[in-house]
Amino acid sequence: MSAPPLPVLLVIPTGIGCQQGGYAGDALPVARLLAAASGCLITHPNVMNGAALYWSDPRIHYVEGSSLDRFATGELRLRPVRQQRVGLLLDAGIEPELRARQLQVAEGCRATLGLDIGPVVTTEVPLEVGLSLGGSGASWGQLGQGEALLRAGRQLKAAGATAIAVVARFPDDPDSDALAAYRAGSGVDALAGAEAVISHLLSLELGLPCAHAPALMPLPLDPQLDPRAAGEELGFTFLPCVLVGLSRAPDLVPVDGSAVVAPWAGPELCIEAAGAVVAPAGALGGAAVLACAERGIPVIAVDNPCLLHVNAEALDLQVLPAASYSEAAGLVLALREGIAPAALHRPLPGLGSA
């Protein structure tokens, strides 16, 4: 008989150039493997969003990044659902043809996948998204009309949407060196930081699952495209994966600070039930990882190079190191089966060793 599921968090921070997870959906194989090893994986859209490509798995819970942080700190529980009603929020700055492409994707997901989508709300003014890079080279962004975004989100919630997919018009820069490097497999996702700003703002304000898809004009064909970038150039929009991910994203349930929360309170997931958090070895400084470490939840630090060097030594953390996500899956399976990870290494020190 197999062991019961062991809830595991998978965190791959966005916009920092991770070798795995630095592109749209290229960490999906990692998520699928860890979901199989754990039986219950909690991760964020940066891991799951593959533009026109997606993977639906009832063992994987799709949770916006700031909500994942709040789950890890014990502020939220996650309530699995059969289906969300996904409201579509469109930026007024999207040109008519590009807007029509977004709506066609939504109609296709309704007709082909049976998703419950609607209503559709357009912001009163263009959102004015700006892109920038931090000192480390990580991507970041600004939103000129944040209140317009929130007004449209509130309108969708009032109309009965239980999750929100946002499509904002992002700046086109097809001739930039940064984009050329990214398409060749050596750059940073310049869009990711601004996307995080948009989804964090909405989710924190509305308490609903939210995710974002950028609206961009299609790029010219590049025969030398890196395989990790290929999923982003298969269609006219990035929206399909967002609609699929949100369609079964768990509800976000606030936790009353005075209440004692038992693990697996009914059908809900709570951080007390988590068995591990998996993150890149150089990006351990995020809120979710640190909150898990403070609770004594094992941190599996995977060799997944990125722009950051916030490692276990810098933070004085005890971690389980893994040379790859395959090795991390083995560690998750060991924890799930109640096998001490130290027992898998040789030599095995004696109990009397200093």
Which of 134-148, 177-191, 258-272 has the least mean pLDDT?
258-272
Contacts of 138 (CB under 8 A, 6+ apart): 15, 16, 17, 188, 193, 307, 308
Q: Do both 171 and 205 map to the same domain?
A: yes
The answer to the question of residue 351 being in a domain is no
Q: Of 227, 247, 267, which closes a domain?
A: 247
As a whole-number percent, the residues of the chain with pLDDT over 90 amount to 76
Q: Do both 119 and 159 map to the same domain?
A: yes
The answer to the question of residue 1 being in a domain is no
Q: List Cα–Cα distances, 182 to 230, 240, 320, 331, in angstroms.
A: 11, 22, 31, 32
User: Can you give the pLDDT at residue 191?
Assistant: 80
Higher pLDDT, 292 or 236: 292
Q: Do both 241 and 92 map to the same domain?
A: yes
User: Can you give the pLDDT at residue 258?
Assistant: 43
- Model confidence over 208-235: pLDDT tens digits? 999 999 999 888 888 888 898 888 888 8
Provide the number of structural domains found in the chain.
2
| Confidence label for 259 from pLDDT (cuts 50, 70 and 90) | very low
Extended beta strands in 216-346, E state? 251-254, 276-280, 299-302, 320-322
Extended beta strands in the chain, E state? 8-10, 41-43, 60-62, 76-79, 85-90, 116-122, 129-133, 139-143, 163-169, 210-215, 251-254, 276-280, 299-302, 320-322
Higher pLDDT, 280 or 190: 280
Q: What is the mean pLDDT of the chain?
A: 92
Q: Do both 135 and 73 map to the same domain?
A: no
Confidence check: pLDDT of 262 > 60: no
Domain span including residue 267: 8-80+251-344
CATH of the domain at 204: 3.40.50
**pLDDT mean over 184-205:** 87
Q: Do both 295 and 316 map to the same domain?
A: yes
User: Can you give the pLDDT at residue 194?
Assistant: 85
As a whole-number percent, the residues of the chain with pLDDT over 70 amount to 96
Q: Do both 44 and 151 map to the same domain?
A: no
User: Can you give the pLDDT at residue 265?
Assistant: 42
Higher pLDDT, 15 or 259: 15
For tokens 């991390």, the residue is: 328
User: Can you give the pLDDT at residue 266?
Assistant: 52
**pLDDT mean over 37-46:** 97
- Model confidence over 233-250: pLDDT tens digits? 888 899 999 999 999 999
| Confidence label for 140 from pLDDT (cuts 50, 70 and 90) | confident
pTM: 0.93
Q: Do both 318 and 192 map to the same domain?
A: no
User: Can you give the pLDDT at residue 172?
Assistant: 86
Q: Do both 188 and 296 map to the same domain?
A: no
Q: Do both 224 and 89 map to the same domain?
A: yes
The answer to the question of residue 305 being in a domain is yes
